[in-house]
Amino acid sequence: MIDADAFYKRARILLEQRLTEYRLLHSFSVADTAIAMAVHYDVNVDDARIAGLLHDWDKNLSDDELIARAQDFGIELLPRLEDMAALLHAQTGAVAVAREFPELPPQIIQAIRRHTSAAPDMSDLDMIIYIADMIEPLRSQGNLTSLRMLVGKIPLEMLFVKSFEMTMEHLIKRHRFIHPESLEVWNTYVARERGRLSI
């Protein structure tokens, strides 16, 4: 059992040395949004706060640094180099955070790892961090308002699917590479949705 307040203060100081001011404020904002969501959806608030704070631990590393780190950590590199950095920071960040803070429970590390690509079996904490990363108030895209208004009003999984749909739409509109795992996530959740509707 960790002292969440003491941990949070220590982690903040370390994070200030790693991130730009914008990224730091974003991280605080994701943590605050994750706390609010955890209250709505009955998830451990300390886990949500810490995962939110640390989710972008490696975000300000350069592409070369991320690739070197991934090789060092034994993480599989994607074939499309141009999109690699955006996805890699979650994977390298999860390993780096686990090494830096061995006292953290695995569910926090998992939520950090899954915050960009998601996974076919998202936990409630995973979904909260994924969504909070998108909807935190410093993000300015206008179409996020509809998602923000749904927090606490619809089931968490439904909110996650809507958020994921928005991400996929965004990638397709900009002709960006979609990771095969993301397609698997989409197909898995659509099948679950259909299964529920046919009951």
DSSP string for 149-182: HHTTTS-HHHHHHHHHHHHHHHHHHTT----HHH
Q: What is the CA radius of gyration of the chain?
A: 16
Q: Which is nearer to Fe ion, 46 or 136 (by Cβ)?
A: 136
- Interaction of residue 46 with Fe ion, rule CB under 5 A: no
Q: Which is nearer to Fe ion, 124 or 133 (by Cβ)?
A: 133
The C-alpha atoms of residue 13 and residue 5 are separated, in whole angstroms, by 13
Q: Which is nearer to Fe ion, 132 or 159 (by Cβ)?
A: 132
Q: Which is nearer to Fe ion, 11 or 153 (by Cβ)?
A: 11
Shortest Å distance, C-beta 27 to Fe ion: 7
Select from 125, 100, 126 the least CA-distant residue to 7: 100
Given 133, 134, 163, 164, the residue binding Fe ion (CB under 5 A): 133
The C-alpha atoms of residue 121 and residue 39 are separated, in whole angstroms, by 22
Q: Which stretch binds Fe ion (CB under 5 A): 52-60, 74-82, 118-126, 179-187?
A: 52-60
Given 46, 56, 58, 124, the residue binding Fe ion (CB under 5 A): 56
Q: Burial-class residue 90 by CB neighbours within 10 Å (0-12, 13-18, 19+).
A: buried
Shortest Å distance, C-beta 84 to Fe ion: 14
Q: Which is nearer to Fe ion, 141 or 187 (by Cβ)?
A: 141
Q: What is the DSSP letter of 33?
A: H
- Interaction of residue 126 with Fe ion, rule CB under 5 A: no
Kindly state the tokens that stand for 172: 């397709």
How many residues contact Fe ion, by CB under 5 A? 2
The C-alpha atoms of residue 62 and residue 49 are separated, in whole angstroms, by 26
Going 131 to 134 to 136 to 140, the CA torsion angle's sign is: negative
The C-alpha atoms of residue 85 and residue 63 are separated, in whole angstroms, by 5
Shortest Å distance, C-beta 86 to Fe ion: 8
Q: Which stretch binds Fe ion (CB under 5 A): 13-21, 55-63, 69-77, 190-198?
A: 55-63
Q: Which is nearer to Fe ion, 176 or 196 (by Cβ)?
A: 176
- Interaction of residue 47 with Fe ion, rule CB under 5 A: no
Shortest Å distance, C-beta 30 to Fe ion: 6
Q: Specify whether the CB–CB gap between 125 and 111 falls below 8 A.
A: yes
Name the residues that contact Fe ion, by CB under 5 A.
56, 133
